[in-house]
Structure 1
Amino acid sequence: QIQSYQASLTGYLQRLTNLTRRVEIMETGGISYTQLDFELLKLEMKQIETLVIELRESMDGSNTLVEALYLEVHNISIMVNQLESYDKNNVLVVRREIASLRKRLEDCEKNQHNGTLPPVNYGSCDHGGLVNISKPFVVQLNWLGFSYRFGGWGKDFCSGANQDAYWVAPLNTDARMMNTLRFYSAYDNLLLYKGATEKVLTKNPSYGVYDYSSCAKVEE
């Protein structure tokens, strides 16, 4: 059944590529908005949404990448349904979102070929070295929006730390400094922007710079 999903994903990836090209032509003035077949766009997104729902149900919600992909597809589907009333700037946003979705579908397809990695005993080096290093992949935009494209996120693997907790630290639009970071008690909460604890860094009055001391200490 997974092979069937892979074949379907490959087909939809090609259709998303064609869809992105059509929106790019529309963006550059090659065709007007009224000439674009919006009903076909909505139908294509509905088919993709159905496929991801089936894939999600087959894995019983155990694959975090598929769960994140499901949320993304659902959001894109809503945006496509509203596309007819969008102005040009919003159409550009839709084009970027579709490109991001296409990349995530590709990642999902590749991960189907990867075997399950052995469990890791966090806080210990008894496994003999690094188990695996993957290429960076985009999970979703941070809560500050598309303009904040740089930053970091991850887990605290220190001994005794909450192994389910995640932190997100977007840089400012200058891609050099940050003044806000958030903590999430679980990966699913990070994906849903749910239950975040926010830490806002303050400026040192003496030097006029942000104070990064104790930035990871969060009151319970």
Structure 2
Amino acid sequence: MKVSVIIPLWALFSLAQQAAPSKSCTCELNPAEKAFPHDKLQTAEGNATDCNTHVTPQKALELESLLLGLEKRLTQLHSDVSVLEEEDDGELYGVLSLFVIENEMVEIRQLMEKLNSTTVEHQVLTDDTVQQLEELKTEMIKLEKFDTMEVVKGRQVNKQLKSALETCRIGVNATVAPTQPPYGTCQHGPLRNITGPGVNTQGEFSGNYAYGAWGRDPKPETRKENWYWMVPLTSSQYANYIRFYSSLSALIIGVSTPGNIQIASSNPTTNTIQGPNNVLYGSALYYNCYNRDAVCRFNLTSKSVTSVQLPRGTRYNSKSNFCHLEDCYAFTDLDLATDESGVWVVYTTTEALGNLVLTKVEETEPPTLGKTWRTSVYKRSVTNTFMACGILYATRYIDANVEEVFYSFDTTTGLENFKVSIFINKVSPNIFSLNYNPVDQMLYAYSNAKMVSYKALFGYSDRYFS
């Protein structure tokens, strides 16, 4: 048995000695699988980009504007016809009214023609987009078959297993009831839409203060439930007082009661308000302390100011503002916010590499810092933030007429969503402060000297979770 093995080895050795050494070695590879079609993948990416370019929120806003214009024209036409029916002046003014009505009819006809053409364009765009999406879906299914190692399939299975495991874990741990509801829990569900604007006024100052903040106290004193507050900032974006109004109508017409409540003797100095992102909660004003990386709390009853220092490395003094491509909002390093659970502060630090950091501010005197969360969204890519039901929402600038709520962070689950896609119709290009009030579920915005309100709509929806 051993001899039979040795003989072939020697034979091979002798053959190797006789063979001439080769200068190069070539190997022909014939893969059983087809090459990955990168050209088809690039085509699919191009089609997806094309859809994002042509299907935009501005298309819907254009249609909405035409409909609103038509509604106003029809209302005016009805009013003019009613006046004509009541006129009895020997046909003198009746002829003039008929000319006015005729001109209005021409404008309405032109508006309807434009509306019809826009509707047809949108219908064609919708049909083309649906066809493109179907083709894109078909191509992606074909491309997925080239995943010979089943990496994509494996990831999908892992995702399903993780979801099932999380559901099981929640079921096991659900036996003990929490002492208080988690921050991210809301009986009315998550944020679905923002409508408005509702209130749109410059108040008594007629545009003299471009920067500022306003709203209502979510936790007011007795008999002050209907009060509104405002903090107007000077051109250098400081303030040393807060101004009150006994009702919304009083704020609009500019009748202030009890007037100004002074925080500091001069402006700017110690205890001065720095920046527009301040809020009122529980008869105390929370704001960025002047020239400090700290949160100040002004007690309206005792007229005293206390503060809490933010973590080391916090960016302040206009070093990490809210921004968009065309502008940055000075002294917006710290953003104070309120929701159902109290007061929050949004900021960034050098350690967080400029990303948003969220910390709960406890209602003590002096105030203290609670739990902190870190996000993965860059602060200077954000124009504003607000809190609702323990969820942080961030906005970005689309254009002079539209702002988008594009991001959310759930403090209960730690989940981030970069596809919120809720749009806000603006009355002025820049929103310098934006805050949510859980009592009336309104958003209060201060936009280029205008005080504007929006209604926040909540509810459960498949679109939100998709």
Q: TM-score, with normalisation over the residues of structure 1?
A: 0.35
**Structure showing the higher strand proportion among its residues:** 2
Query: Highest Rg: 1 or 2?
Result: 2
Q: TM-score, with normalisation over the residues of structure 2?
A: 0.18
